[in-house]
């Protein structure tokens, strides 16, 4: 019997973005609509969805903090993996790819400059130091990203490992682990999102725009605030190109 197997094409993508300011221009560009009851009422997360070029796109943001009464964006690993896990529990069987988009610190030793767009090759943690046999590797939590060799070339992005912690700044212990993680960029969500994707066995990668230089001479928070506007523009320029490159392709083409 002759069986013709259709190539598997990507037609459902989740884009996980921690901060609302980073997500909204993209949501508006694609004309996505807020999904009112996507998450249970206790969850602070938001989901926006719609179609673009025959692709179902769901943008998930981590929402604003109500727990500590600050009202700022829910950055960091706990909201990131929870939002991703809940999203994939709900629509994971239809999702072909998760893209984690956001800002990051870049290592000039790895060629990073402010405004650069990096696609992750892997993610790991640099604030989980557990010096017990077996737990060391667990703490680092290295997870490979899906291959994006062609995509990086098509959108002129750099490639590298993203190292994650729950701090914007870094101390000497972080420095050692970031070095041993061979990181090109540093953020507060990538490894946590990758963890949830791995549980669901869904391919994923990060798109990270550099707002500050980690191994430079200025404090991260100063540079971050100064460059957030221009980095957000780089991200907004990159995301539509990525969606256009990804939708309708096979994983092996990325």
Rg of the Cα atoms in the chain: 18
How many C-beta atoms surround the C-beta of residue 95 within 10 A? 21
Strands (E), the chain: 12-17, 33-34, 46-52, 55-61, 97-106, 117-125, 143-144, 158-164, 183-187, 204-213
Burial of 187-224, coded b for 16+ CB within 10 Å and e otherwise, reads: bbbbbbbbbbbeebebbbbbbbbbbbbbbeeeebeebb
Contact 26, 239 (CB under 8 A): yes
- Within 84-103, the residues that bind ligand SAH by CB under 6 A are 102-103
Q: Which region among 24-32, 127-135, 142-150, 186-194 touches ligand SAH (by CB under 6 A)?
A: 186-194
Cβ at position 210, least distance to ligand SAH in Å: 8
Q: According to CB under 6 A, which residues from 148 to 177 bind ligand SAH?
A: 168
Closest CB to ligand SAH belongs to which residue?
Answer: 105
The verdict on whether 127 is a catalytic residue reads no
Residues 120-139 that bind ligand SAH (CB under 6 A): none
The verdict on whether 20 is a catalytic residue reads: no
Q: Which span sits near ligand SAH by CB under 6 A: 7-15, 30-38, 122-130, 181-189? A: 181-189
* Nearest CB to ligand SAH, comparing residues 123 and 220: 220
CB closer to ligand SAH out of 202 and 213: 213
Distance, in Å, from the CA atom of 180 to the CA atom of 71, rounded to the nearest integer, reads: 35
The binding track of 10-29 with respect to ligand SAH, each residue x by CB under 6 A or -, is --------xx----------
**Alpha-carbon span 40 to 242, nearest angstrom:** 30
Question: In this structure, what DSSP letter does residue 1 have?
Answer: -
Among 214, 243, 247, 254, binds ligand SAH (CB under 6 A): 214
The answer to the question of residue 141 lying near ligand SAH (CB under 6 A) is: no
Binding site for ligand SAH (CB under 6 A): 18-19, 72-73, 75, 102-105, 168, 186-189, 211-212, 214, 220, 224, 228
The residues assigned a catalytic role are 22, 212
């Amino acid at each position: 019997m002759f069986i013709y197997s259709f190539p598997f094409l990507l037609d459902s993508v989740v884009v996980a973005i921690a901060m609302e300011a980073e997500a909204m221009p993209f949501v508006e560009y694609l004309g996505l609509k807020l999904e009112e009851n996507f998450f249970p009422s206790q969850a602070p997360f938001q989901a926006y969805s719609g179609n673009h070029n025959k692709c179902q796109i769901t943008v998930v943001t981590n929402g604003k903090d109500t727990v500590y009464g600050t009202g700022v964006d829910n950055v960091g690993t706990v909201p990131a993996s929870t939002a991703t896990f809940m999203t994939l529990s709900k629509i994971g069987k239809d999702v072909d790819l998760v893209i984690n988009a956001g800002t990051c610190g870049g290592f000039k030793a790895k060629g990073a400059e402010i405004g650069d767009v990096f696609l992750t090759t892997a993610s790991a943690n640099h604030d989980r130091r557990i010096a017990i046999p077996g737990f060391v590797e667990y703490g680092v939590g290295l997870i490979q990203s899906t291959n994006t060799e062609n995509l990086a070339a098509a959108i002129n992005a750099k490639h590298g490992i993203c190292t994650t912690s729950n701090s914007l700044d870094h101390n000497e212990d972080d420095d050692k682990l970031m070095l041993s993680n061979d990181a090109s960029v540093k953020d507060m969500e990538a490894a946590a999102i990758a963890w949830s994707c791995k549980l669901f066995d869904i391919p994923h990668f990060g798109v990270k725009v550099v707002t500050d230089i980690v191994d430079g001479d200025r404090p991260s928070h100063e540079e971050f605030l100064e460059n957030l506007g221009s980095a957000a523009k780089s991200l907004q320029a990159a995301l539509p190109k990525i969606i256009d490159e990804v939708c309708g392709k096979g994983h092996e083409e990325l």
